[in-house]
Structure 1
Amino acid sequence: MSEIPIPGRRRSFSFAIIATMLLMVAASAPSPFYPQFAEQLGLLPVATTLIFAVYAFTMLAALLLTGVLSDVVGRRPVITVGSVLLAVSLVMFWQSGGLTMLLVARALQGVAAGLLLPALSAMVVDFAPPKHAEAASLWNTIAAMTGLGIGAITAAIVLDLTVNPAGAVFGSLAIVFLLIAALVWATPETSRSARLRVTGTTLRLAVPAYLRRALMVAVPAIIAGWATNGLFLALGSSVVKSEFGATTHAGQSIAIPIFAVSGIIASVLLHRRSARVVSVYGTSALGIGTALSLGALALHSLPAYLITVAVVGTGFGTAFMGVLKTLMPRVDPTERAAVMAVIYTVSYLAFGVPTIVAGLLVPIITLQGAMIGVGVVIVVLCLVATVKRVRIRDRSRTDPHGPVPHENVQAVPAKSNGVIR
């Protein structure tokens, strides 16, 4: 990376951040449409959550099969293919008129995201300023949270104001991702590893052995955060509509940008603190905010609910940033996409499963009851994550020459072939 001129590095860093943000815009833009789909197609709650969750599970499959691919063939080819597939899926979403086409479009979108997320996240790390190691984790978090908020609220406003909202939202995004597929070739290539580990046709996700314990400590925080994220995107609009009587799409979707903006603010304020401080704050705020939000639901108080959503948002943003701050500075450049793929594999498994469970529970115990049930699980996970992280001290240092082993973990060379099995 040292041979890349600073202007080229900065342009590529900005490109990777913007592309990551737009990917999350595409992920959250369908959320305000879900209540409309349910009314127009006569869908049960589980069908609505299935439309949402199929994205998570096809993305999970893509992460498992191709998450390491950009470490092998380079970032640019993977980003190009993923962007074209995403554009196709958005056109299908725009043109779909039934549940089957919606599921196919959402599934293809998940495959595209499974290609794009590890490659773009690794690209942010590749081009981050060398003297500011925290920049990559901060901007990966900001890009994701910004995209989630912009996608949801913009789509909601378009739904309220236009006669063809699907064309305006999904058609425009399709054009944007065709541009990304072309523009990525103006950035330098940063990764083309000679190591191609293949089992049959499956590229295996490699995690350095010295990183495994740190990753396992982070897993409860990842699950709690992304389960919360999934519930907001899949059911957030329905909760505000059914529990608080919001009538406009913008009003129904208001919790999502509040969730995202509060996460961004907290991430900016805390990004210079240690990974341990950021992680502990994140899981604590996520757990406390979730518990308070359940109380606000029980009281049917929209202002109280939105305040608790802001607390939850600060927790999600910083909990995920804490995970990235803990893990990514230690990873060799040739293994970055693989490690990001493992992180996102855990994330999107948590993103999808609780949402489907909640959808199945709604007809039995109501929407409020389902949110309470899943919320209690999230609070418990946050407690476990906070206790685990408090007990482990950071002993990392900024080291441009290689990864730093985690406390009590035997260090191995950075190019270890440890494999998640």
Structure 2
Amino acid sequence: MKPSPFGTQARLGVFGALLFTFMAASSAPTPLYASYQQAWGFSTFWLTWVFAIYAFGLLAALLVGGRLSDHLGRRSVVLGAVLMESGSLLLFHQAHGLNDLIAARAVQGVATGLATSALGAALLDSDQQRGPWLNSLAPLLGMAAGAAGCGLLVTYAPLPLQLTYQVFLGLFLVLALCLLGVPDLLPRQSGTLAALRPRLSVPPQARAMLWRVLPLELAVWATGGFYLSLMPALAKAVTGTTSVLLGAVAVAGLTLSGAACLHRLRHWPAERLLRLGSLALTTGQILLGLAVLGGQLTLLMVGTVVTGIGFGSGFLGATRSLLPLAEPGQRAGLLAAFYVLSYLAFCVPALLVSVLVPRLGLVGAAQLYLAGVLGLALLSGWKLRAPPCAQAC
């Protein structure tokens, strides 16, 4: 039975709020990394591993459980993910060393991976027009809110290493209660055990489009990895400030400008969004590189905003081009494949560059990272010059 308009609105609200909160929780530890590093004395290399272990946990969840919601239903998988996320927040809250932090991030990654695939598919089930838009907007707003909110708590609130996680535990409790009242649109299907076999599921009709948008999507997510792993320390090194809030502002600047662009341009056709994303990311990497070389805070923020425009428009253009090509029973699998490729770009470059930090220094390693993203953005511009049908044929 087709849901009523009010039912559709309610479903979009609950699923969008959950996706927002999962992504906010994922970026909340970023402003705390410097505090953890100072308290427990680990190196930048291990700091990057703390960031990357989240992405590896998320990848594992997508590979093994990305299609679970096609068989068990969206709500059941999301509720399970909420329970796991709550467990990770308790681990963060009680953390006393690097091993505790790694364990908490690993559990959080698995929970976010399960939730991302199921919630993305649920949003598409509910509304094929607004679903892709919310799939793009909610994560960006969530990451901005998580980083900026936590940065403010670290700077101005008592018990910053605990209060952030207490707030998120309360939010997930409220959202879980709301989710219990939302019925599944997709009935349960057989084949649950088979769905646990790691398999990237890209429907044949979506493969040509995936290949076409892949360079831009990799550039978008590599940019996100750069900001969430290296930018807090880089901003301090470039500007000479000791404020934890500056790194949080940089992360929020990227994601907020991306979200604003995404909302403002949500009615643009996918092809136009892709071209804007490629151009803005190319320009943004050049500005960021100049800011790092010159140690200019203003140019760093301008480059962040321009990069954020490419981040938002590229992400929306890719999801709008790709996700509607899947049938209802293929959506979670396609989302899993899409996010596996995205999160590899999110974490692997940061890990590789972190190995070079002792040799090149943080600024030199950051310049190498930015050059790599610039290369991907230029490649995407070249691929987008050909019409979609020319690449699909």
Q: Which residue of 1 aligns with 2:366?
A: 371
1:110 equivalent in structure 2: 109
| Residues 1:282 and 2:277 aligned together | yes
Match of 2:382 in 1: 387
Cα contact 2:208–2:391 (8 A) shared by 1: no
Q: Which segments of 5 or more consecutive residues in structure 1 lack a partner in the other structure?
A: 395-405, 410-421
Cα gap change, 1:214/1:393 in structure 2, threshold over 3 Å: closer, same or farther?
closer
Residue type matched to 1:83 in 2? V
Paired letter, 2:234 = V
Instruction: Give the counterpart of 2:352 among 354, 357, 362.
Output: 357
Q: Show the 5 A alignment for 1:19-418.
A: 19-128=18-127, 133=129, 135-192=130-187, 194=189, 196=191, 201-202=196-197, 204-393=199-388, 408-409=392-393
Q: Structure 1 residue 246: deviation in Å?
A: 2.4
Deviations 1:256-291 (A, max 9, x none): 111111111211222212111101111221122012
Task: Give the CA deviation at 1:107.
Answer: 0.3
Shift of 1:202: 1.4
SS of the residue 2:267 aligns to: coil
Q: Secondary structure at the match of 1:271?
A: coil
Structure 2: distance between partners of 1:84 and 1:39: 30
1:266 partner letter:
C
Q: Distance in 2 between matches of 1:155 and 1:390?
A: 41
Structure 1 residues 206 and 197: CA distance shift in structure 2, 3 A? farther
- In 2: Cα distance, 1:331 partner to 1:195 partner: 20
Equivalent pairs, count = 393
SS of match in other structure, 1:39? helix
Q: Compute the displacement of 1:199 (Å).
A: 5.4
User: What letter matches 1:257 in structure 2?
Assistant: A
- Does structure 2 conserve the Cα–Cα contact (< 8 Å) formed by 1:287 and 1:383? yes
Q: Is the 8 Å Cα contact of residues 209 and 392 (structure 2) preserved in structure 1?
A: no
Residue 36 of structure 1 deviates from its aligned partner by: 1.2
Quick one: which amino acid aligns to residue 245 of structure 2?
A: A
The answer (yes or no) to whether the contact 2:209–2:388 under 8 Å persists in 1 is no
Take 2:18 and 2:196, find their aligned partners in 1: how far apart are those partners?
Answer: 29
CA distance, structure 2, for counterparts of residue 367 and residue 68 of structure 1: 39
Q: 1:299 to 1:261 in 2, by over 3 A?
A: same
In structure 1, distance between residues paired with 2:155 and 2:168: 18
Structure 1 position 200, deviation (Å): 9.4
Q: 1:391, 1:198 → 2: CA distance?
A: 41
Task: Tell me the CA shift for residue 201 of structure 1.
Answer: 4.9
Task: Give the Cα–Cα distance (whole angstroms) in 1 for the partners of residues 392 and 159 of structure 2.
Answer: 58
Which is worse superposed, 172-181 or 301-310? 172-181
Indicate the SS of the match to 2:388: coil
Report if the CA contact (8 A) 1:230-1:352 is conserved.
yes
- 1-structure distance, mates of 2:380, 2:229: 24
Q: Distance in 1 between matches of 2:285 and 2:346?
A: 16
Q: Distance in 1 between matches of 2:373 and 2:112?
A: 25
CA–CA separation in structure 2 for the residues paired with 1:110 and 1:237: 21
| Gap runs ≥5 in structure 2 | none
Task: Output the TM-score relative to the length of structure 2.
Answer: 0.96
Deviates more, 1:204-213 or 1:296-305: 204-213
- Using the TM superposition, give the Cα deviation of residue 388 of structure 1 relative to its aligned residue in structure 2, in angstroms: 1.0
The structure in which a higher percent of residues are helix is: 2
Amino acid of the structure 1 residue aligned with 2:225: G
Q: Provide the secondary structure at the position in 2 that maps to 1:341.
A: helix
**Conservation of the 8 A alpha-carbon contact between 1:221 and 1:385:** yes
Q: Would you say the 8 A contact 1:64–1:205 is kept in 2?
A: yes
Amino acid at match of 1:37: Y
User: 68-77 vs 236-245, which deviates more?
Assistant: 236-245
8 Å contact kept, 1:56–1:351: yes
For 1:215 and 1:195, the matched residues in 2 are separated by: 28
Q: Does the residue aligned with 1:202 lie in a helix, a strand or coil? A: coil
Runs of 4+ in 1 over 4 A off after TM superposition: 197-201
Length-normalised TM-score, structure 1: 0.90
Q: Which moved more, 1:244-253 or 1:23-32?
A: 244-253
Note if contact 1:197-1:203 (Cα within 8 Å) is conserved in structure 2.
Answer: no
